[in-house]
Structure 1
């Protein structure tokens, strides 16, 4: 059984962090020890038996902190079970079907033998940082498109895999 899990993320406006916390909560409910923190603050993955990495999607790329985390810790990640999630599509695209990982995330998944990737809907609300976010909000296309039921179900699958390993 895997005991200690890191859930880490790259986010600009906090919605990816909220998804990561929901994942961490489900893992804790299954008796796992979980630390959830921003990807930029992780110095080592040595204390963890498994890792979940999430990144907000911006212009077709994972958040820079998630990309840097994976690059910095790639050797250690290759020796652990790892799961990835992305967040960010606005609208009903996620509800209409599975969205594959963006190209850079797919390449990293192949190198690290990542167990699974899922894309969750994003959230963009008034006050969001960034020029592009402002443009999206002014066009009326913002909102919260996260499905916490789907997030919790995915996290439960990770918990099941780790507690029955």
Structure 2
């Protein structure tokens, strides 16, 4: 008797592409484990009732999910509460160093904490994104440095992202695989 593959939705909101890249990476890892994954942005999200697990991710602006992501969570909170949900965000917090930066980076912004309380995900995880110096005001650069921002460019920790997606896969009972590839 053939078993139906686990169906997972990975839904994201991105501002400059980092969140989309992370969502694609998570989706690829779950597909490698035999899951059927539908990847989409919030504006084109599929019907949630078809999925065994739902992963929601958004870039952070002004210490909150992007408006499309926040609106989606609020609109679909009843469906999401009945599902296995995981949430992630992409921003600068996890990349901050030093005593002040680490403290700020480990704090879950109040608006995101409220969204998490709305749907009770199994886990919420913040990840660093891609941050370029070009086009950022000198005031914003100064604040970034004062809070422990040490460098610019791709700040994503692909190992941490893979570890988190592996935890999700194990929670959903997906088989182990030998994932030797590392994201560039």
- The structure 2 residue matched to 1:71, chosen from 74, 79, 83, is 74
In structure 1, what is the equivalent of residue 14 of structure 2? 11
Q: Distance in 2 between matches of 1:110 and 1:125?
A: 32
1:111 paired with 2:109, answer: no
* Bigger Rg, structure 1 or 2: 2
In structure 2, what is the equivalent of residue 130 of structure 1? none
Paired residue secondary structure (2:49): coil
Q: Which residues of 2 match residues 49-64 of structure 1 at below 5 A?
A: 49-64=52-67
Q: CA RMSD in A?
A: 2.7
Structure with the larger RCO, 1 or 2 (CA within 8 Å, 6+ apart): 1
Q: After superposition, what is the alpha-carbon deviation per residue over 1:61-111, rounded to whole angstroms, capped at 9, x for unaligned? A: 111121111112111111100000011116732795872432122112223
In structure 1, what is the equivalent of residue 91 of structure 2? 88
Q: Distance in 1 between matches of 2:57 and 2:47?
A: 17
Q: TM-score, normalised by structure 2?
A: 0.75
Q: Distance in 2 between matches of 1:2 and 1:161?
A: 15
Q: TM-score, normalised by structure 1?
A: 0.83
17-26 or 64-73: bigger deviation: 64-73
In structure 2, what is the equivalent of residue 31 of structure 1? 34
Structure-2 change in CA distance of 1:121 and 1:44 (3 Å): same
Aligned residues: 159
Q: Which runs of 5+ in 1 are unaligned?
A: 128-132
In structure 2, what is the equivalent of residue 99 of structure 1? 106
Q: Distance in 2 between matches of 1:18 and 1:80?
A: 24
